[in-house]
Amino acid sequence: MRVLMFIGKGGVGKTSVAAATGLRTARLGYKTIIMSLDIAHNLSDIFDLDKGLMDLNKGKPVKIAENLWIQELDIHQELQRNWKEVHSYLSLLLSTSGFDNVLAEELAILPGMEEVSALLYINSYVKANYYDVIVLDCAPTGEAIRFISIPTALEWYIKKIFNLERNIAKFVRPIVKRVTDIPIPEDSYFENINQLFIKLQGSDEILSNPEITSVRLVTNPEKIVLKETLRAFMYLNLYKINVDLVILNRILPLEIQDRFFDAWKEIHALYTSKAREYFDPIPIFSVDLFTKEILGLEAIERLGEAIYKDQDPTHLFYKGKAYEFSKEDGCLMIKIELPFAQKEEVEVYRVGDELVLKLGAFRRNIPLPRSALASCERMKARMQEGYLQIYVGGKEDGE
């Protein structure tokens, strides 16, 4: 069982690459489902399918070829399936606060509900072992990061806050009912969340198991796109989710001779080499810009060949961590494997919200988590058993 997640900035080619990967694994004989986690679904468009067929299916998987299913979640169906009590309580709360009913129902679809619904499916598919490969076409970076943070955040919420809230609600409900119209959630609301949590259990282990889940970063050789991808890479490291491949998509082919593209070609060459610095040691697969947009089975298949050549997409292309974060004595510690380096050869400094690490011709940029930015004036580094350890923040000497 493999879960392959495609993450990247808006418009870089995530859906096309996810479709190409899924089609290829299906053709190789793996029972494959491609699931779209983006509210603005366009998976079926890329496969050039009739939208009516998808709508009829109400967000359930649709078989589109031998061994291949696609699924575009329908949040309104998911509200009925999984969020009934939570949604009706939130709608009631909003309409009592003065919003008209239609708007209240719409606003009660909270950020995160779609992602939790997707996690419920992934969890049940992995447990049932029905598919060999689950390909996830993610929403643009920000939401994708929220998706991977949900199991950790929910675990914390349920353990630390949930029972407290549930007990407070039980206690204050009769009192509040006498003095105000503002509704306090009924116990069925808490039971709904509890049931969701039970169904979600195990999903964090799926996402953080590198033998099962691999994130593939899709990006383009341009400055802004690469910067955003690098931030996503940092968050994935923070959440200990394995990135096994970077797909550098839409590179201008060298045979283009038109002078108009000269500067673009230089930019692409520059940022292709920068991408190697940024993501080392993760392998990078480069894909040229096609002559037209990727639409329909034949084009998707050609894209799959361009990405993977003769390799099997279920292969684990890299296992390990480019760097690791941890907390030690109030400091953020960043640990990087540098087997043959001496401390004196290594240069570490901060540029904006990134750490830059230099060792001869080797250079690596590591974006810092927001929580570390305030204190990163104070920095120490040391080498230990082949690892460079950088300490950021913590107490100043004599403090």
Q: Which residues bind Mg ion (CB under 5 A)?
A: 14-15
Q: Please measure the distance between the N-terminal and C-terminal CA atoms of the chain and give it in whole angstroms.
A: 52
Q: Does the protein bind ligand ATP through residue 249 (CB under 6 A)?
A: yes
Closest CA to 200 of 122, 114, 110, 132: 122
Name which position in 1, 3, 12, 37 contacts ligand ATP (CB under 6 A).
12
Q: Select the binding partner of residue 290 from Mg ion, ligand ATP, none (C-beta < 5 to 8 A, by kind).
A: ligand ATP
- Minimum CB–partner distance for residue 71 and ligand ATP (Å): 16
Q: Which is nearer to ligand ATP, 114 or 204 (CB)?
A: 114
Stretch that binds ligand ATP, among 71-79, 80-88, 286-294, 378-386 (CB under 6 A): 286-294
Radius of gyration of the chain (CA): 24
Give bridge partners of residue 133 from the DSSP assignment.
Answer: 2, 32
- Tell me the C-alpha distance between 35 and 130, whole Å: 14
Of residues 138-157, those binding ligand ATP (CB under 6 A):
140
Q: Select the binding partner of residue 185 from ligand ATP, Mg ion, none (C-beta < 5 to 8 A, by kind).
A: none
Q: Which is nearer to ligand ATP, 272 or 375 (CB)?
A: 272
Q: Which phi-psi region, left, alpha or beta, contains residue 177 (left: φ > 0; alpha: ψ -120 to 50)? A: alpha
Stretch that binds ligand ATP, among 74-82, 287-295, 331-339, 388-396 (CB under 6 A): 287-295
8 Å CB contact between 143 and 115: yes
- Minimum CB–partner distance for residue 251 and ligand ATP (Å): 8
Q: Please provide the DSSP assignment of 245-297 as one string.
A: EEEEEEEPPTT---GGGHHHHHHHHHHHHHHHHHHTTS-EEEEEPPSS---HH
Q: Does the protein bind ligand ATP through residue 221 (CB under 6 A)?
A: no
Stretch that binds ligand ATP, among 64-72, 191-199, 268-276, 289-297 (CB under 6 A): 289-297
Q: Does the protein bind ligand ATP through residue 296 (CB under 6 A)?
A: no
Stretch that binds ligand ATP, among 68-76, 99-107, 285-293, 384-392 (CB under 6 A): 285-293
Closest CA to 289 of 259, 260, 258, 255: 255
Q: Please provide the DSSP assignment of 176-245 as one string.
A: HHHH-SPPPPPHHHHHHHHHHHHHHTTHHHHHH-TTTEEEEEEE-SSHHHHHHHHHHHHHHHHTT--EEE
Question: To which residue do tokens 């350890």 refer?
Answer: 389
Q: Which is nearer to Mg ion, 68 or 196 (CB)?
A: 68
Q: Does the protein bind ligand ATP through residue 381 (CB under 6 A)?
A: no
Q: Structure tokens of 319?
A: 């296992």
Side-chain-side CA neighbours of residue 105 (13 Å)? 7
Q: Select the binding partner of residue 250 from Mg ion, ligand ATP, none (C-beta < 5 to 8 A, by kind).
A: ligand ATP
Q: Which is nearer to Mg ion, 10 or 330 (CB)?
A: 10
Name which position in 290, 317, 318, 391 contacts ligand ATP (CB under 6 A).
290
CA angle 246, 251, 254 (to 5 degrees): 135
The torsion angles phi and psi of 181, rounded to 5 degrees, stand at -85, -15
Q: Does the protein bind ligand ATP through residue 321 (CB under 6 A)?
A: no
- Tell me the C-alpha distance between 318 and 304, whole Å: 19
Q: How is the chain split among helix, strand and coil, in percent rounded to 5? A: 45, 20, 30
Quickly count helices (H) and strands (E) in the chain.
Answer: 15, 15
Of residues 334-373, those binding ligand ATP (CB under 6 A):
none
- Minimum CB–partner distance for residue 314 and Mg ion (Å): 22
Q: Does the protein bind ligand ATP through residue 294 (CB under 6 A)?
A: yes
Name which position in 1, 200, 287, 348 contacts ligand ATP (CB under 6 A).
287
Q: Does the protein bind ligand ATP through residue 14 (CB under 6 A)?
A: yes
Q: Does the protein bind ligand ATP through residue 57 (CB under 6 A)?
A: no
Stretch that binds ligand ATP, among 9-17, 103-111, 205-213, 387-395 (CB under 6 A): 9-17
Stretch that binds ligand ATP, among 10-18, 183-191, 334-342, 358-366 (CB under 6 A): 10-18
Q: Does the protein bind ligand ATP through residue 293 (CB under 6 A)?
A: yes
Binding residues for ligand ATP, per CB under 6 A? 8, 10-16, 38, 42, 140, 249-250, 287, 289-290, 293-294
